[in-house]
Amino acid sequence: MLYEEARKAVCDTARRMMRDGLVKLTSGNVSARVPGTNFFAITPSGMDYEVMVPQDICILDLTGRVINGHRRPSTETPMHRLAYDRRPDVNGVVHTHSIYASAFACTGQAMPVISTELAALVGGTIRCAPYARSGTDEFAEAAVQTLGSEDLAVLFQNHGVMAVGRSLKEAYSVAIGLEEAAMIFHLARQMGDPIIIPEEERHRMFQEFRRSYGQPRAGIEREPRGWGDVTVLRGRMDRGD
């Protein structure tokens, strides 16, 4: 099977997304850039995650053309394609309909950062893209334009959430962290006015998390690319994930 590792990573992440309650039925979609190519792997349209296997994952180029695969790709392919085209740093995309974050998106408001966990994952406020019909080029443009050049997550008004990352693993962590933060925000508002972490402190936590979180390993640097974490020799002590 061509592109086996990328396909397996996307399939495994999609099935995990269902198990973790970020989606129900066949909603949501997952993709990963295929390292060393101009291709990306993406989940098929409308397929039950419980029966999905790596062979079902579609391989596309950055024009949206199917390169390899026997399934019809996700209807949200334009959004994934545009994210990879506009953001060379992005190697994984996870689109969920998680309950609390989606509820927040239905208000059309940006989500402020009130927890240290979310600050470490994304740094800044999660902006909300204006409404557009799902699956269209207009939806893709609104999503990626709102995401901007540095953000790792964006809400879709009346729809859901997109998380991106330097690896598919990182994108998934952002998706999980965002849903947890939305739940915390909802509960905190029942008790009073949530306290927003100052911008300077959010930025400090985000940079520190990226620089020092995890276990160092002698002689290697872990560079998150494509579907997972690629280990590259650097001849110095650096961090793991």
- The predicted-structure confidence for 119-140, as pLDDT tens digits, reads as follows 888 888 999 999 999 999 999 9
Q: What average pLDDT does the segment 137-158 reach?
A: 97
Q: Give the pLDDT band of residue 227 (cuts 50, 70, 90).
A: very low
Tell whether the model's pLDDT for residue 241 goes beyond 80.
Answer: no
Q: Is the dihedral of CA 79, 85, 86, 91 positive or negative?
A: positive
- The predicted-structure confidence for 38-65, as pLDDT tens digits, reads as follows 999 999 999 999 999 999 999 999 999 9
Residue 213 lies in a domain: no
Residue 202 lies in a domain: no
CATH number of residue 38's parent domain = 3.40.225.10
Residue 128 lies in a domain: yes
Which residue among the candidates 76, 117, 179, 180 is catalytic per the annotation?
Answer: 76
What burial class does residue 1 get, using C-beta atoms within 10 Å of its C-beta: 0-12 exposed, 13-18 middle, 19+ buried?
A: exposed
Residue 51 lies in a domain: yes
Residue 224 lies in a domain: no
- The predicted-structure confidence for 208-217, as pLDDT tens digits, reads as follows 887 877 776 5
Residue 93 lies in a domain: yes
Hey, which residues does 160 pair with through a beta bridge?
156
Could you tell me what percent of the chain has a pLDDT over 90?
75
Residue 16 lies in a domain: yes
221: CB partners within 8 A, 6+ apart:
231, 232, 234, 236, 238, 239
**Known catalytic residue: 76?**
yes
Residue 212 lies in a domain: no
Question: Shortest CA distance to 143 belongs to which of 206, 87, 183?
Answer: 87
Domain that holds residue 182: 4-191
24/92 Cα distance (integer angstroms)? 21
